[in-house]
Amino acid sequence: MKRELLSKAFGDIDERYILEAFHGDPGTGSPPERIVHMKKKRLFTLALAAVLVLALGITAYAVWSIHDKRQQELKTDLKIEENHVSSYVEYAVADEETNGLVLLSSVNDGQEQRVYVNISPVSPEEAAAFPDNARFAWTIEGTALGGFAAPQLPVGTSLSGTEALRDAVLKDAYDAQTQTMTLQCYMDVSMIEKAVAELGTETVPLQVQMRIGEDEPRRFGPAALSLTEKQSRYFDFGRTVYHDEELDREIELVGLELTPFGAVWQISYPEAAAFHTPEADWEAYRPYSILEDRVCIEGQIIFSDGSVFSTGGALTTPYENGVVNLRCNWGRAIDIDSVQRIVLGDTVLWEAR
């Protein structure tokens, strides 16, 4: 409950009750004993009511403020403002939750829509059950679509073991006072597009499920979610031929699509279509697989401030539209508008002019 709602609650007390509490007997200047007793009783009731309103207001404000706090933490941790991420959407937090689910923010990295949410109530015991005995998932109501969700921890958190993970979740993703858990939902963009087509609506009803052990899952939501715009930049390499001396293999570097949170390196070589099928000859493909990793890991993106960034290894490598698409993503945003050079070894693939 915000300050203006507290003021309204106090303002809604009938004025005549307040006036009666201060008006004395006009004849004597003091109220009769019975009225004194009644007024004392009424004042005591009003005082109790005020305390109750204040207590409810403090609780409601705590719930509201945890959403605001998490939004600020996410924006800072993901480096949204300093890297000018225009595609990051932050939702207006309502005074009251939608069936225990609050949308905090969302960003489209090109392959996934990353949706950050708060769910409540989650008891301390339920929160402590993760990861051994608690699981989270997202679903789209009215469809068979769904996927993985997990407690949102600061980017780069390095943990070892179940106990360390549990402690980190309780410290960074859970608020015991409001019994609120912060999650990230990993939603494939194509799934949202499919749900929009199935439901015939611009928004989809997002639900979050929490399952403790073998119990029936508890549902939070739904809340209306829409697919957000992708912020991207494409760098054309002009099909630069790159020869790897160690592997004695050549590939064509076609281009790079870059978003603040993801990249798609596009490469080509004669055997690519055959190698990117379930029936591929692994031994024949192996040198190219190593070379694909080298492109993603050893390729360097150099920014205007002199800093250097590597996209890391590809998570998926589909063959589409005549090229291999090496898809990578990462946790914190980069400034795609300040790229000055892209190099692989001694080969300059792109340079600002």
Of residues 331, 324, 223, the one with CA closest to residue 264: 324
Q: What is the pTM of this model?
A: 0.81
Report residue 223 CA to chain centroid gap.
14
Q: pLDDT tens track of the chain, all 353 residues?
A: 333 333 333 344 444 433 333 344 444 454 555 444 545 555 555 455 444 444 444 444 556 589 999 999 999 999 999 999 999 999 998 645 568 999 999 999 989 999 999 999 999 999 999 999 999 999 999 999 999 999 999 999 999 999 999 999 999 999 999 999 999 999 999 999 999 999 999 999 999 999 999 999 999 999 999 999 999 999 999 999 999 999 999 999 999 999 999 999 999 999 999 999 999 999 999 999 999 999 999 999 999 999 999 999 999 999 999 999 999 999 999 999 999 999 999 999 999 98
**Where do the domains of the chain lie?**
3-74, 81-225, 233-351
Instruction: Report pLDDT for 35.
Output: 46
For domain 81-225, give the CATH number. 2.60.40
The set of long-range contacts for 50-58, using a CB threshold of 8 Å and a minimum separation of 24, is: 50/10, 53/6, 53/9, 53/10, 54/6, 56/1, 57/1, 57/5, 57/6, 57/9
Peptide bond into 26 cis (omega under 30): no
Alpha carbons 322 and 267: distance in angstroms, whole number: 9
8 Å CB contact between 83 and 261: no
Taking phi first (over 0 means left), then psi (-120 to 50 degrees means alpha), and beta for anything else, what does residue 94 get? beta
- Given a contact cutoff of 8 angstroms between Cβ atoms, the answer to whether 152 and 173 are in contact is yes
**Cα angle 328, 334, 335; round to 5:** 130
Please name which of 161, 83, 28 lies closest in space to residue 334, comparing C-alpha atoms.
Answer: 83
The pLDDT of residue 98 is 65
